[in-house]
Amino acid sequence: MIIDTHAHYDDKAFAEDREEVLNDLAVHGVHRVINSSSSLEACRRTIELMEQYPFIYGSLGVHPSDTAELTEEDMDWLARQSQLTKCVAIGEIGLDYYWDEPQRELQRKWFVRQLRLAREVGLPVVIHSREAVQDTITLLQQEKTQEIGGVIHCYSYSRESARSFLDMGFYFGIGGVVTFTNGKKLKEVVEYLPMDRILLETDSPYLSPVPNRGKRNDSRNLPFVAEEIARIKGISREEVERITTENTQRLYPKLDMEIRE
């Protein structure tokens, strides 16, 4: 069994064939998907997908790029929706310093607020962090986020930074970049990480792995990611799939793993 721990099937890239793609996943061994939200509107669409497809679960939160207009009323709404049976995490939340807007101070404010929300509702967090490693580590430590747990989605930093996240008990979302020829840094990180801290993800429709790089990504590409992790670790692809599934179950105990015909 394969679990895609981070996808965006609410994205408009799937507008024309979403149902066809999703109904084909089980044939390729993908039996669970966690659809990750990036805005309040994406949260609403994720909830719709959770209701429509038994195998889709969700993480609900607001990506740093969409925090400019957030209010406390929005946090109240998120808190209520997080109680849905199939909501497994708060996310994706974090910091993105690649862009100039929203202002970094505002990003940090709503990152901390959503970390505290996760603590209040008793859910782990899905962290987005780009070009903001030190502030991300500092805020996670200040908020004692190791007590609630979570995953660093689409990990892009160094082995040295990975140690800091490991010390806080975080998991690492590994996707298509690990298959790229220019993905040497991530390959080194995967070699360094213990297998019991790795999760499989696509970030669909983005970051499609080799041999489909540049095309729209979906969960059916995860075997390519698992194969590269297996090569780096010197184990079988089946072992990678088994261990990452067990890791996902540990992080997200709300996942129902029973396969029903």
Q: What is the tally of structural domains in the chain?
A: 1
pLDDT of residue 259: 59
Are the C-beta atoms of residues 64 and 96 closer than 8 Å to each other? yes
Residue 10 lies in a domain: yes
Compute and round to an integer the Cα radius of gyration of the chain: 17
**Rounded Cα gap, residues 254 and 84, in angstroms:** 10
pLDDT of residue 256: 86
pLDDT of residue 261: 43
Residue 187 lies in a domain: yes
* Beta strand residue intervals within 44-180, DSSP E: 56-59, 87-96, 125-130, 150-152, 171-174
What CATH number does the domain containing 161 carry?
3.20.20.140
Exposed/middle/buried for 73, CB within 10 Å: 0-12, 13-18, 19+?
A: exposed
Tens of pLDDT, residues 223-244: 999 999 999 999 999 999 999 9
Are the C-beta atoms of residues 153 and 6 closer than 8 Å to each other? yes
**Rounded Cα gap, residues 24 and 112, in angstroms:** 38
Task: For residue 180, give the nearest of 214, 152, 133, 131 by alpha carbon.
Answer: 214
Residue 260 lies in a domain: no
**Domain limits at 98?**
2-251
**Rounded Cα gap, residues 91 and 126, in angstroms:** 5
Are the C-beta atoms of residues 18 and 45 closer than 8 Å to each other? no
pLDDT of residue 257: 77
Low-confidence ranges of the chain (pLDDT < 50): 261
Tens of pLDDT, residues 47-93: 999 999 999 999 999 999 999 999 999 999 999 999 999 999 999 99
Provide the token pair at 89: 């995490």
Residue 261 lies in a domain: no
pLDDT of residue 258: 72
Task: For residue 65, give the nearest of 39, 41, 36 by alpha carbon.
Answer: 39
Residue 258 lies in a domain: no
pLDDT of residue 260: 52
Residue 17 lies in a domain: yes
pLDDT of residue 213: 97
Whether omega before 92 lies within 30 degrees of 0, making that bond cis, reads yes
Residue 133 lies in a domain: yes
Residue 37 lies in a domain: yes
